Amino acid sequence: MKIFRNKLAVTIVLLSVTFLILIFKTIKSDNISLTGNGIGVTFNAIQGGIYKFNSKVKDSVSFIFNFSNVKKENEELRKKNSELESKALDYDSLKEENEKLRGMLNFKDQRSEYDYIGSDIIGKSGSGLLDQFVINKGSKDGIQKQMIAITEQGLVGQVTSTGSNWAIVQSLSNENLAVSGTIESTNDNGGIVKGYKDSDNRLLAKLYYLPLDSNIKTGDVILTSGLGGIYPKGIRIGSVISVEEDKGKVMKNAIIKPYVDFNKLEEVFIVLPKNKIDVKY
């Protein structure tokens, strides 16, 4: 192998010397011989190969020395990307919260005879996971039994028990909760709204005890009627998705889809009369 390398070196030197002699003669005679041109082409091919090889080696060495810098830049880019994703999530969360607050402010403007206490849901209880919610406000905040819980979408339920810094809200999805309802388009009263689950186990509600001649129809909006003195009048409950007749009992019932999605509840507002003497539920 050593002898081969020595011969290759000698050959390259001889070719180089020959090439230089030819260049000298060519300059002197201003003519390039066919033999000189052939040798020049051969030498240029060898020189080009050596140049390409050196370039590849140089690039590889440069990449090795710059690898740590490239790695550092990639880490910085990943960090910046993570920060941007975090900011985007924060923005979406703030946007959703602002929309909720705007909806609640609109409701408060329409129902200015009440005060409202905002509270977070911190737990769930009851036989069904969504039957009752535990909130982080209680009697020391002015919350009492039978007060009403709402969101900007509509009725959630009623406070059934309180502690100093907590309370339990029974939701409309509980079949034991009864609310007097009215049809917004006709102002017909007399129906009672209770929690209801269909065959697909959806959390719905049903308006019972409407007369057979009631004009209730699919799409009608159901509100609290205010009868019974517990629920304020005019709180949105849900919309009618179907109507059924019970001719045996001479009445109609209506299936309602509540406006509040009980699966996604995170906070509620408790409704308080500003003047407990003059303003009643």
Tokens of residue 5, six digits: 């390398």
Of 2-6, 78-82, 176-180, where does mean pLDDT reach its minimum?
2-6
Higher pLDDT, 18 or 32: 18
Domains along the chain with CATH numbers? 1-110 (no CATH), 115-281 (2.40.10.340)
Give the tens place of pLDDT for each residue, 68-117: 676 677 778 887 777 777 666 666 655 555 565 555 555 555 566 778 89
CA distance 229 to 7: 112
Closest CA relative to residue 230, chosen from 171, 278, 159: 159
pLDDT band at 43 (very low <50, low <70, confident <90, very high): very low
pLDDT tens digit string along 146-156? Answer: 899 999 889 99
Confidence of residue 208 (pLDDT cuts 50, 70, 90): very high
pLDDT of the residue at 85:
73
Contact assessment for residue 181 and residue 222, using Cβ atoms and an 8 Å cutoff? yes
Mean pLDDT of 268-274: 85
pTM: 0.61
Residues 6+ apart with CB under 8 A from 113: 273, 274, 279
SS3 213: coil
Which amino acid is present at 219? G
Q: How far apart are CA 218 and CA 256, in angstroms?
A: 9
Report yes or no: 170 and 132 within 8 Å, Cβ to Cβ: yes
**Residues above pLDDT 90, as percent of the chain:** 30
